[in-house]
Amino acid sequence: MTEKEKMLAGQVYNPGQDEKLMAELAACKAKCLRYNQLTAGAERKELLKEILGQSGESCHIEPNFWCDYGWNIKVGEHFYANHNLTILDAGGVTFGDNVYIGPDCGFYTSGHPLDVARRIGGLEYAYPITVGNNVWIGGGVRVVPGVTIGDNSVIGAGSVVVKDIPANCVAVGNPCRVVRKITEADETSDLNWKK
């Protein structure tokens, strides 16, 4: 298997040993740099579609935006991400419809072995991240490899999501944990997630 094939299969791989993979990484970084330098408009919108593997018609990401490969990111309809979004997409990141992401958020599918010898040898792994439909992610949130966030959930600002979050709930903290379910009462509440 190539290192790219290992990466996509969720196996330990060495990206530095795959020239094609490194070229794809460099090409995406160049596109992100260009994207971040453009003002809002048709050219930036078209470049975003070129960077992402799949996106709905209504997709907007404020600069600065950085990702590793781009082609391994799938975005649904009505997607909005505020400034300073980082997506390490080696393992694949999928966002559903109506997803809103606050500023300074990161989605990291990549990780490294715990043992020093393999880690300093350049090995890493990548597990997919999935964000469901109608999810709101507050500013400064970090999501680690292999996590799924269920439909209709809200992740509070500053959270570090290290395990799956079920649908229809509010989750906050480091590590992120469910604090309550979202109920019909929230349709008329004063917007305070703590109640």
Q: How far is it, in rounded angstroms, from Cα 195 to Cα 191?
A: 9
Active site residues: 112
Specify the amino acid at residue 36. Answer: N
Q: Where are the alpha helices (DSSP H) in 58-156?
A: 116-120
Q: How far is it, in rounded angstroms, from Cα 133 to Cα 126?
A: 23
Q: How far is it, in rounded angstroms, from Cα 61 to Cα 81?
A: 5
Residues in the chain: 195
Q: How far is it, in rounded angstroms, from Cα 75 to Cα 143?
A: 16
